[in-house]
Structure 1
Amino acid sequence: MAAHKLTGRAVIALMHGLALLPLPLLRGLGSLLGKILFKTAKPRREIALTNLRLCFPELDEATREQWAQQTFIYFCQTWLDRSWLWTSKPEKINKRLRLTGALQELDNPSPMILLAPHFYGLDAAGVAMALGSTRTAVSIYTKQPNPVLDAWIKERRARFGEVLLFNRAEGLRPIIKALRAGGGLFLLPDMNFGERESIFVPFFGIQAATVSSLSRFAEMGHARVVPLLSRVTKNGYEIELLPHWQDFPTDDVVHDTTRMSQEVEAWIRTMPTQYFWVHKRFKSRPPGEPPIY
């Protein structure tokens, strides 16, 4: 426990110190760390390259290597950016975040699901929504192994506006209740959570285990689905809201989940190096198919 406290306090102090650096310097440091990590973290590098080979077979290997290195750079840059996102004053943060797109969706008081794919700017998107909306933000939270960091991160993510963080172990009931009360649920359903919670639908032409929670939450919460895309820019982040989906959900969960997967794929193609390729997206395979990684 003492080791957890020491490590947690050291990381918190580091984040407060990093937040004082000018953004260009912080991004430069992230670029350097990303290049080092790309060279040294061989297992994750191979995962990213495997994903890119599967999803972009038309590219030559040199281009895929460039993309993979850039995704490691974005990984490190956005991790360092959490320092000022989690500790700086709103005035400083607002200068670095640009909220664009279908902002009229924020004026609609009905329940809303923010479909947020795993682009590296996710934390910036959460802060931008907290600062730009009076709606209660609802999110599903994964507990951190270090209790000191776990408590600090929860407090930092909830410091603007009204934020409800639910652990996965708490089940669906409190999430649906908060959603029906008019909350905005951040949902990140484009990762591989195993076959038990998933169905197989195409993702870049490959059958991928995909959770069907978007369709189910939309139905149970009587909620609109509003895509939320985050893009790293030179001066910070651009956070874009898209108009809510029409004719969603349907009575066909497979159709709905396939639609979500296709939409996420289309968004990735607009900024392919900013997606979380270091994740084993194709780890779970349909019966009879060999492992990919």
Structure 2
Amino acid sequence: MLLKLLRPFAWLPLWFFHGAGIVAGWLAWAADPTYRKRLAANLRQSGLAKNDADYTRLLRSSIVQHGMAGAEMLVHWLRPAEKVAQLVIERRGWEHVDAALANPKPILFVSPHLGAIEACGIHLAMRIPRQLAALYRPPKIKALEPLMLASRDRENGLAAPANAKGVRLLLKTLKGGQTAYMLPDQAPGAGDGVWAPFFGQPAYTMTLLPKLARQFDATVLMCFAERLSWGRGYRMHIVPLPALSGEPVVDATIVNAAIEDLIARAPAQYLWSYNRYKRPAGAPKPGEENA
């Protein structure tokens, strides 16, 4: 019922949603002090701003981009997958995808909380001739989960929840030489991560990605869909992940550095409001893993 009620609105032009997102972004900023404090603090400590004026510019742009990211979800979830895929009007680094597809090894697409996450995954699912299993964490607003699942369980896409069942599905997909899509900057539970620097501050970082890459000898490609101005669509970026070492902390550091490099391409479009530096219950303090 919810899908039927909302689907007609998804055909409004993308610029309309981005315009509405500007308003929503500032309303969220004004209404939630915790959100406001975390977004501002995370952006400040990243060191991406050259000076106070640059920080203010980045902060204001980030507030707007946060709102756009939320508003455009309706388009990504409810338009036909091919129509969403067509919103990616430019691709940089796609030659790395072609090279990976010429090899029978599975592919791990890795996209941080940057740009249009859903559009990125849908474009990949529609443009590569392999099944793509997307690992997801159920949203805090339960009513949104059916929309998310309806989006990811179509065409070549396959939704895999971030639990034991979803990981098994991911393993099966990669074992079959297919592809997977995952977010590397979600804070894992205790025992599933290690502390590694992220913009100069220790962040509890998942070990699942390097483990999967090593276990299946997968090609790992970092990616994100950059949001273009005036609702013009998105620009896809594809970058190979540097070679991993097999040592958990070193590999987590490599992954985080690769994420930082992607963020530097569109710093205002990163989800700075995410509590990336939290310590999961039961996890050791930074520097105490081997104590």
Aligned to 2:120, which of 108, 112, 125? 125
Residue equivalent to 2:9 = 18
Residues 146-195 of structure 1: per-residue CA shift (max 9 Å, x gap)? 66643342122222224252441326433222111012111212132354
Give the AA of the match of 1:169: A
Residue equivalent to 2:63 = 72
Matches within 5 A, 1:30-49: 30-49=21-40
The alignment covers a number of residue pairs equal to: 278
Aligned to 1:287, which of 281, 285, 288? 285
Residue equivalent to 1:236 = 233
Give the AA of the match of 2:172: K
Give the AA of the match of 1:224: T
Give the AA of the match of 1:237: Y
Residue 123 of structure 1 deviates from its aligned partner by 0.6
The 8 Å contact of residues 263 and 270 in structure 2, kept in 1 or not, is answered as: yes
Residue 256 of structure 1 deviates from its aligned partner by 1.4
Residue equivalent to 2:131 = 136
C-alpha spacing 1:110/1:76, structure 2 compared with 1 (3 Å):
same
The 8 Å contact of residues 201 and 257 in structure 1, kept in 2 or not, is answered as: yes
The 8 Å contact of residues 133 and 180 in structure 2, kept in 1 or not, is answered as: yes
TM-score if structure 1 supplies the norm length?
Answer: 0.84
Say which SS state the counterpart of residue 240 (structure 1) adopts: strand
Alpha-carbon distance between aligned partners in 1 of 2:238 and 2:286, rounded to the nearest angstrom: 40
Residues 97-124 of structure 1: per-residue CA shift (max 9 Å, x gap)? 1352223133433211111111031111
Residue 44 of structure 1 deviates from its aligned partner by 0.5
Give the AA of the match of 1:191: Q
Matches within 5 A, 1:1-293: 9-10=1-2, 12=3, 15-56=6-47, 59-90=50-81, 92-98=83-89, 100=91, 101=93, 102=95, 103-104=97-98, 105-144=100-139, 149-170=144-165, 172-234=167-229, 235-242=232-239, 244-245=240-241, 248-284=243-279, 287=285
Residues 212-266 of structure 1: per-residue CA shift (max 9 Å, x gap)? 2221111122211111122111311112222x345x3323222111111111112
C-alpha spacing 1:38/1:288, structure 2 compared with 1 (3 Å):
same
The 8 Å contact of residues 160 and 170 in structure 2, kept in 1 or not, is answered as: no
The 8 Å contact of residues 34 and 69 in structure 1, kept in 2 or not, is answered as: no
Alpha-carbon distance between aligned partners in 2 of 1:288 and 1:260, rounded to the nearest angstrom: 18
Alpha-carbon distance between aligned partners in 2 of 1:128 and 1:22, rounded to the nearest angstrom: 18
Per mean C-alpha deviation after superposition, the further-off stretch among 201-210 and 97-106 is: 97-106
Give the AA of the match of 1:238: R
Residue equivalent to 1:4 = none
C-alpha spacing 1:185/1:47, structure 2 compared with 1 (3 Å):
same
RMSD: 2.6
Residue equivalent to 1:5 = none
Residue 142 of structure 1 deviates from its aligned partner by 2.3
Residues 108-143 of structure 1: per-residue CA shift (max 9 Å, x gap)? 332111111110311110110111112111122323
Residue 68 of structure 1 deviates from its aligned partner by 2.8
Give the AA of the match of 2:34: P
TM-score if structure 2 supplies the norm length?
Answer: 0.84
Listed as ranges, the gaps of 5+ residues in structure 1 are: 1-8
C-alpha spacing 1:147/1:232, structure 2 compared with 1 (3 Å):
closer
